[in-house]
Structure 1
Amino acid sequence: MDFVLSDLANLVGGRVCGSGDVPIRGAAIIRDARQGDITLADNPALEAELSSSNASAVLVPPDYQPVGLPSITVENVHESFAKIVSALRPPCQHQTVGVSTAAHVSPSAQLASNVVVYPGVVIGEGVRIGADTVIYSGAQLMAGTTIGKETVIFPNVVLYEHTVVGDRVLIHAGAVIGAYGFGYDMQDGQHRRCAQLGHVVVEDDVEIGAGSTIDRGTYGATTIGAGTKIDNLVMIGHNCRIGRHNLFCSQVGIAGSCSTGDYVVMGGKVGLRDHLEIGHKVMIGAQSGVMRSIPDGQRHLGSPSTPEREQMLKQAAWAKLPELRKQFKALQKQVRELEDQLSRSGRDAA
């Protein structure tokens, strides 16, 4: 769909600087923009990069006015750019209405109004699905699962029995919710699986990335708090209790029986040992290995993780080691020379 710049300004409630008649056929970031595209620059520091771009127009904040390029000034650059991208590349609409005849739906399942079920979905006994929820092909909803309204389950997701999913949840392709936890007892020289009688509760407005796994509780629930966002390939162990509005980046691994407060952030590849308590608003840097509980509000880095300032001091010390090694070797050489001098002086005196 083609627009001129003034059309897009009206769409986002922005102000045009320069010609409003510039035709816009696409949208892209500065690096990828071509003639006919609108791009975005949320910081004056991007001026040099923008000046070499092929973009025909740019979306900017009020404190930045680019030179020589038509622009739209808006309060929130990223929110407005998302609206423009959606207008230029409208999202695909659901092609299937209702429940596909190629899906297997148990007669005891209860589906509310406007539920969309694509071919190849398997919905088990006693499953309940709220209004306006979409289930894509290949998803498996095992017996007793409950899903709220306006939730989207993408292809090949598996929800084990008695999983509870709230409203407006997104679960991306290949995620597995409610698998057995990794718990074993040693009996007669063999690893015997512990009880796996619990389930998983995913509260409202949660997003779970592709390929992520959340294990069921041993006897009760593993819980994911409202508003939490989980990236691809994250693993959350059995009996964990994740707080509200957490952010977990890719490849985070949380061992069993850990808990987090609200607004916790974990960078990529963070690992937590079992039975830890992570406080509210804690931030943990990428690749950190957490071996101890962390109080509210702290920032941790490293493996084993320590408070940010302590870790920075350690890193600064590590950076000095090569020079310290040179100095140490020089001192060793001086000591040997002094020892040789003293030895010769002793022989001469004798």
Structure 2
Amino acid sequence: MFTLDQIAATLGRPVQGDGSLTFDRASEPGSAGPNDLALAMSPAYGDALRTGKARAAILWDGADWESFGLSGAITVPRARLAMAAITAALDDGPDMNVGIHPTVIIGDGADIAEGVSIGPYAVIGANVVVGRGARIAAHVTIGRQTRLGEDALVLQGVRIGSHVHIGDRFVAQPGAIIGADGFSFTTEFENGVERSRKTLGDQGDPVRQPWGRIHSLGSVRIGDDVEVGANTTIDKGTIADTVIGRGTKIDNLVHIGHNNRIGEDCLICGQVGLAGGSTVGHQVVLGGQVGVSDNITIGDHVVAGGATKIFTRVRAGEVILGNPAVKMETALAMQRATRRLPRALEALSELRKTVTGKGQGTRDDG
């Protein structure tokens, strides 16, 4: 149970009305009951708030809270920022007791700090270092000589390979895999793929030959305050490490290939795929299903809209969209032009009939 005063302290905002009001959970305005905190941080939620039964609410800045029949309220100038603070305050996190479950396997030389939680059937490899306050859920495996920073949260079924270095306050959602081998193969002689890439299409006379593995001798280095989503995979580098910069947040079902270097405070949304060897700058946003080709550079502050396919260098600050990627305004103009094509072709057909006389009846001047 929480009080409105507690939430106000979290937000750094004053309470209007009765700050001693208690509630059990946050709720959408229309379905909120007397024991709920209604989140109505935009005027668009005003009508729904009136139909609900909340006594307390979070409202947009300047709202007339008394007009909604509330007993207390807090107003906020920036809804999403307030949402971050409120959800953090109300989230009690996973149910994990401090201590090491008796089914855990710990390798020789592992250094487990104070205040660590390790759940059932986890496996901690030899010479692993686990920082103070880390929480490791059931069925997690951590390979040898890996370092996991302080206050990390590693949820069910995560797999972390060997020699991985992870900073403090790391979060990994269920099923993430960090430190798998990169996807690198070669052949004895030049193959059709290599030739077609050089010539933009001519394979010559391809020779049938097996693929040989290039092993991954590098690992993965992850900075502080990084989050990795469920079932996301981050591959080891071939020689140098794959790098994820401080503060970067990675969504579910993302694949980051070997030798990529991703900067700080990036947002990488669901189903993004990065081939090997690219460099991504700081504060880059890649929307859902963006694809990034190998060995290219994306500058700082780039925003790529959903399903963009990036095959060439992107300069800092650009906002891009499309396949292949172009500036967003250009992509939108191309889409508008494409939608107009059927009508334009019909008009062209009618004009052609007029010019050539096709489709008109014959005239006898005799």
TM-score above 0.5, yes or no: yes
- TM-score, structure 1 length as denominator? 0.88
The one-letter amino acid paired with 1:65 is: D
Paired residue for 1:64? 63
C-alpha displacement of 1:183: 0.9
Paired residue for 1:118? 119
C-alpha displacement of 1:54: 4.2
Q: Measure the CA separation in 2 of the matches of 1:212 and 1:100.
A: 26
Any conservation in 2 of the 1:24–1:56 contact (CA below 8 Å)? Answer: no
Percent of aligned pairs sharing the same letter: 32
Structure 2, unpaired ranges of 5+: 189-207
Q: Which piece of structure 1 moves more, 21-30 or 320-329? A: 21-30
C-alpha displacement of 1:29: 2.2
Paired residue for 1:158? 159
**Equivalent residues in 2 for 1:80-99 (5 A)?**
91-92=92-93, 95-99=96-100
Paired residue for 2:50? 51
C-alpha displacement of 1:42: 2.2
Q: Does 1:129 align with 2:130?
A: yes
C-alpha displacement of 1:151: 1.1
The one-letter amino acid paired with 2:262 is: I
Paired residue for 2:330? 310
Q: 1:198 aligns with which of 210, 214, 218?
A: 218
Structure 1, unpaired ranges of 5+: none
| 1:48–1:331 distance in 2 versus 1, CA, 3 Å | farther
Paired residue for 1:24? 23
| 1:31–1:145 distance in 2 versus 1, CA, 3 Å | farther
Any conservation in 1 of the 2:242–2:258 contact (CA below 8 Å)? Answer: yes
Q: Which piece of structure 1 moves more, 76-85 or 143-152? A: 76-85
Q: Measure the CA separation in 2 of the matches of 1:81 and 1:339.
A: 65
The one-letter amino acid paired with 2:63 is: Y
C-alpha displacement of 1:273: 1.0
The one-letter amino acid paired with 1:246 is: C
Other structure's SS at 1:48 match: helix
Other structure's SS at 1:328 match: helix
Q: 2:250 aligns with which of 230, 241, 266?
A: 230
Could you say what the CA RMSD is over the residues aligned between the two structures, in angstroms? 2.6
| 1:307–1:83 distance in 2 versus 1, CA, 3 Å | closer
C-alpha displacement of 1:12: 4.9
C-alpha displacement of 1:171: 1.2
The one-letter amino acid paired with 1:276 is: I
Other structure's SS at 1:190 match: coil
| 1:273–1:90 distance in 2 versus 1, CA, 3 Å | closer
Q: Which piece of structure 1 moves more, 146-155 or 331-340? A: 331-340
Q: Measure the CA separation in 1 of the matches of 2:209 and 2:28.
A: 59
C-alpha displacement of 1:271: 0.5
C-alpha displacement of 1:299: 0.4
Any conservation in 2 of the 1:43–1:64 contact (CA below 8 Å)? Answer: no
- TM-score, structure 2 length as denominator? 0.85
Q: Measure the CA separation in 1 of the matches of 2:125 and 2:20.
A: 56
| 1:73–1:22 distance in 2 versus 1, CA, 3 Å | closer
Q: Measure the CA separation in 2 of the matches of 1:93 and 1:267.
A: 28
| 1:10–1:241 distance in 2 versus 1, CA, 3 Å | closer
Q: Does 1:256 align with 2:276?
A: yes
Question: 1:46-70 deviations in whole A, cap 9, x for unaligned?
Answer: 3334334443332123322253232
Q: Does 1:326 align with 2:327?
A: no
Paired residue for 2:182? 181
| 1:49–1:217 distance in 2 versus 1, CA, 3 Å | same
The one-letter amino acid paired with 2:158 is: V
